[in-house]
């Protein structure tokens, strides 16, 4: 039995994400929660002939039912960007939404894996961590900020400039830091399989990966941000977490924004390299309890070191902003 709850299931990400989760045969119960339209989305998906039973929950009164017994909660609830906005501009609306959803999850499914999509991820993940800590149920191994879209984009963008010689499905670029412009630090020097780039290619690729979200926001021209590619990235990350948890599969590694205390062995050494930040995106090996091992940054180029130092100073403020928001409302 494996129950997944999607909070924000009727939205631009929520609908295609719920579709992709409906196709995941490890899931036995798919609970769709939103303030609007959840019953319609659930009725539609419930006709697909895969094992999961789909149920719908509409409005705050039904949130406890959606969360009760959940093994994994994935959250794309909240508002997306419009042109001219930063992800941090979403904080004033999304911070409260995430705090309230996290409060309900800490009460009704405190052991669930919590997968956070809503922006600004660099602050919403610390918000969830702080809420769980305030309720005495915090396990840093089980709370993840989804940064998979940056990794998905990087594999694709590399293919765009190395046409013919790179497979976008198997190419992997580790991305560390966070999920907003300068905090997204692609480690092209560690690309697998190995590729050589000119410095000009490295700088152009890095910028495109850092600002991939803006490309979509601009093209959608006021109608929101990435939804379809995000749904694919979210379903890929959820599948990785579920596969490691349910089947004891080893060697599953995905970059994700986590609390470095999740790895008692490597976390402290990594924190020392990044001015003591509590949360950071790094490739993480997943296991039956969530985070199994956080990979260290490893050896990086001087250009990447420079990017990393910019990321650390921006992240410091974003993480603290999330923590302060929760502490102020306790
Ligand atoms: P959307 O407006 O299309 O959908 C959001 C959904 O959330 C709506 O259905 C809305 O009714 C619902 N919602 C709002 N408040 C809620 C609450 N309190 N409880 C439950 N549901 C609630 O937006 P979208 O395009 O799906 O984007 C959602 C979020 O995901 C945004 O914050 C966006 O910035 C973020 N995002 C993150 C990434 C990433 O890489 N992590 C990528 C793309 C988008
Ligand atoms: C993205 O990277 O596409 C998302 O974070 C949405 C956004 O606001 O760009």
* Residue 247 falls in the annotated catalytic set: no
Where are the extended beta strands (E) located within the chain?
3-7, 29-34, 53-58, 72-75, 113-116, 143-145, 175-177, 184-186, 253-259, 279-287, 290-294
Residue 164 within any structural domain of the chain = no
CATH code for position 75: 3.40.50.720
Peptide bond into 250 cis (omega under 30): no
From first to last of its 330 residues, what are the pLDDT tens digits of the chain? 999 999 999 999 999 999 999 999 999 999 999 999 999 999 999 999 999 999 999 999 999 999 999 999 999 999 999 999 999 999 999 999 999 999 999 999 999 999 999 999 999 999 999 999 999 999 999 999 999 999 999 999 999 999 878 999 999 999 999 999 999 999 999 999 999 999 999 999 999 999 999 999 999 999 999 999 999 999 999 999 999 999 988 999 999 999 999 999 999 999 999 999 999 999 999 999 999 999 999 999 999 999 999 999 999 999 999 999 999 998
String of DSSP letters for 117-160 = -SS-HHHHHHHHHHHHHHTT---GGGEEE--HHHHHHHHHHHHH
Instruction: Check pocket membership of 213 for ligand 2, CB cut-off 6 A.
Output: yes
Residue 124 within any structural domain of the chain = yes
Would you say 115 and 141 are in contact if contact means Cβ atoms under 8 Å apart? Answer: no
Q: Estimate the crossing angle of helix 121-134 against helix 91-108, to 10 degrees.
A: 40
Residue 90 within any structural domain of the chain = yes
CA of 286 to the centre of ligand 1 (A): 25
**pTM for this prediction:** 0.98
Residue 306 within any structural domain of the chain = no
Residue 71 within any structural domain of the chain = yes
Question: What is the position in ligand 1's atom list of the atom closest to the CA of 90?
Answer: 32
78: left (phi over 0), alpha (psi -120 to 50) or beta: left
Instruction: Check pocket membership of 81 for ligand 2, CB cut-off 6 A.
Output: yes
Residue 39 within any structural domain of the chain = yes
Split into its structural domains, the chain has a count of 1
DSSP 8-state code for residue 69: T
Residue 317 within any structural domain of the chain = no
The parent domain of residue 119 ranges over 3-146
Using DSSP bridges, classify how beta strands 253-259 and 279-287 pair: parallel, antiparallel or unpaired: antiparallel
Query: 10 a known binding residue?
Result: yes
Residue 312 within any structural domain of the chain = no
Query: 81 a known binding residue?
Result: yes
Question: What is the position in ligand 2's atom list of the atom closest to the CA of 179?
Answer: 5
């Amino acid at each position: 039995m494996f129950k997944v709850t999607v909070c924000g299931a009727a939205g631009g990400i929520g609908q295609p994400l719920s579709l992709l989760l409906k196709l995941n045969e490890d899931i036995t119960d798919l609970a769709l929660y939103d303030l609007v339209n959840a019953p319609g989305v659930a009725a539609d998906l419930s006709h697909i002939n895969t094992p999961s039973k789909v149920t719908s929950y509409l409005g705050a009164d039904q949130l406890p039912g959606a969360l009760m017994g959940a093994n994994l909660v994935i959250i794309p609830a909240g508002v997306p960007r419009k042109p001219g906005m930063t992800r941090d501009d979403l904080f004033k609306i999304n911070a409260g939404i995430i705090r309230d959803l996290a409060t309900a999850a800490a009460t009704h499914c405190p052991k669930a894996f919590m997968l956070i999509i809503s922006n600004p991820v660099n602050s919403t993940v610390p918000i969830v961590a702080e809420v769980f800590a305030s309720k005495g149920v915090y396990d840093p191994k089980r709370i993840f900020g989804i940064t998979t879209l940056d990794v998905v984009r990087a594999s694709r963008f590399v293919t765009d400039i190395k046409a013919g010689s790179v497979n976008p499905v198997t190419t992997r670029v580790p991305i560390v830091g966070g999920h907003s412009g300068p905090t997204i630090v692609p480690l092209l020097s560690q690309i697998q399989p190995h590729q050589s780039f000119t410095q000009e290619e490295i700088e152009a690729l890095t910028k495109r990966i850092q600002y991939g979200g803006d490309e979509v926001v601009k093209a959608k021209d006021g109608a929101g941000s990435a939804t379809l590619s995000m749904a694919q990235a979210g379903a890929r990350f959820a599948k990785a977490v579920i596969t490691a948890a349910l089947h004891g599969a080893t060697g599953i590694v995905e970059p994700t924004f986590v609390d470095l205390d999740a790895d008692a062995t490597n976390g402290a050494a990594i924190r020392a390299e990044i001015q003591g930040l509590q949360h950071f995106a790094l490739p993480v090996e997943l296991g039956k309890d969530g985070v199994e091992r956080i990979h260290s940054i490893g050896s990086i180029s001087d250009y990447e070191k420079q990017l990393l130092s910019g990321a650390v100073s921006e992240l410091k403020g974003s993480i603290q902003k999330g923590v302060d928001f929760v502490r102020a409302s306790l």
